[in-house]
Structure 1
């Protein structure tokens, strides 16, 4: 996947937003917002970080973003019921490290940061995950796993499959009971 990039609309919106000073209270309230879902594998703080990160991985444009289609819930369910315990722990540790980096660099939790700051942190984390010693990572980087889960969660959702992707519920014409002579040999691929 290409590095996180901004569209012209997002860049312009970010430039306009940077002209306004947002009170620290608003950021603190955003960080304390309770998710609309109950996490199964994560704490509430981890769920907030996850939701904010997923929304930056698949932001809302002319199609719904990750939060609107339930990607954070998908990732949480995958961590609770599908992922190996060490994989889930690596993802949780990565979310904690991301939040700690946000607090150290911006003096605010990751979920409360403006989108430009979140993008900057995620771009740095993605670059870190892309560097391998001797071409092979010792273990998959937590952000690469999160990005993959977020992408799968988004494109397997109804909105992701029907609004972001082209969708044709019945590809081609349906012709039932076609004589075998018209079809010929079957396709292998």
Structure 2
């Protein structure tokens, strides 16, 4: 699957995405870290493995690096450990568990047996559902600050929207993607605030 098509699919109903409360700008751009070398501090080892699979489904490796190669899962682990509140951490982890448990209901196989493309398809199916049933995200927004136990539907919506948003933020601010995929100037010596855009040009790297 081409990256442009994958991102277009993931972006179905992208207006429903919520900005993550994680301040990624407060961290240095993530570096590509082999998955066998990073030790999770926020996630359990099982959750970390699940996050790798989900992040790769959101930003799969094609002719350009995937999320794992760009170090996204390890970066999110660090970011969540530093910036998430107790409620955000609880919602995200519970939502991850619900997402994994419900995976077969939304796809063709169980999560553990799913391919990267099947993970992409399931994420996309969530956004199609959110587009077709806008009350799901409307209720999520309206009840976010309400006290009391949150429903599985609430934490599931929190996880899906947060993990997609966070993965893309981390991916496009990663050192690897910034230097090899986007337009990159290692020694910028001139600031131009207004440059004509030509169709098809890549966005400038932020690293």
Which bin holds the TM-score, normalised by the shorter protein?
Answer: 0.5 to 0.7
| Runs of at least 5 residues in structure 2 that lack an aligned partner in the other structure | 1-6, 12-34, 145-156, 192-207
Which structure has the larger Rg over C-alpha atoms? Answer: 1
Following TM superposition, by how much is the alpha carbon of 1:72 offset from its aligned partner in structure 2, in angstroms? 0.4
Query: What is the match of residue 178 of structure 2?
Result: 161
Following TM superposition, by how much is the alpha carbon of 1:69 offset from its aligned partner in structure 2, in angstroms? 1.5
The count of aligned residue pairs is 144
Q: Does 1:50 align with 2:62?
A: no
Query: What is the match of residue 4 of structure 1?
Result: 10
TM-score (norm 1): 0.64
CA RMSD of aligned residues (A): 2.7
Which structure carries more helix by proportion? 1
Q: Write out per-residue CA displacement over residues 32-61 of structure 1, whole angstroms, 9 at most, x where no aligned residue.
A: xxx522211112221111111100111112
Contact 1:3–1:126 under 8 Å retained in 2: no
Once residues 2 and 85 of structure 1 are traced to their aligned partners in structure 2, the CA distance between those partners, rounded to angstroms, is 33
Once residues 170 and 153 of structure 1 are traced to their aligned partners in structure 2, the CA distance between those partners, rounded to angstroms, is 22
SS state at 1:67 partner: coil
Query: What is the match of residue 125 of structure 1?
Result: 126
Query: What is the match of residue 77 of structure 2?
Result: 76
Contact 1:60–1:66 under 8 Å retained in 2: yes
Contact 1:39–1:47 under 8 Å retained in 2: yes
Query: What is the match of residue 67 of structure 2?
Result: 66
Q: Does 1:97 align with 2:103?
A: no
Contact 2:56–2:116 under 8 Å retained in 1: no
> Which stretch has the larger CA shift, 112-121 or 151-160?
112-121
Once residues 109 and 60 of structure 2 are traced to their aligned partners in structure 1, the CA distance between those partners, rounded to angstroms, is 24
TM-score (norm 2): 0.59
| Runs of at least 5 residues in structure 1 that lack an aligned partner in the other structure | 6-34, 175-189
> Aligned in 2, Cα 1:78/1:172: closer, same or farther, shift over 3 Å?
closer
> Which stretch has the larger CA shift, 138-147 or 94-103?
138-147
Which has the bigger relative contact order, CA under 8 A and spacing at least 6? 2
Following TM superposition, by how much is the alpha carbon of 1:2 offset from its aligned partner in structure 2, in angstroms? 4.1
Q: Does 1:152 align with 2:158?
A: no
Contact 1:41–1:77 under 8 Å retained in 2: yes
Once residues 128 and 54 of structure 1 are traced to their aligned partners in structure 2, the CA distance between those partners, rounded to angstroms, is 20
> Aligned in 2, Cα 1:85/1:126: closer, same or farther, shift over 3 Å?
farther
Contact 2:57–2:117 under 8 Å retained in 1: no
Once residues 161 and 109 of structure 2 are traced to their aligned partners in structure 1, the CA distance between those partners, rounded to angstroms, is 25
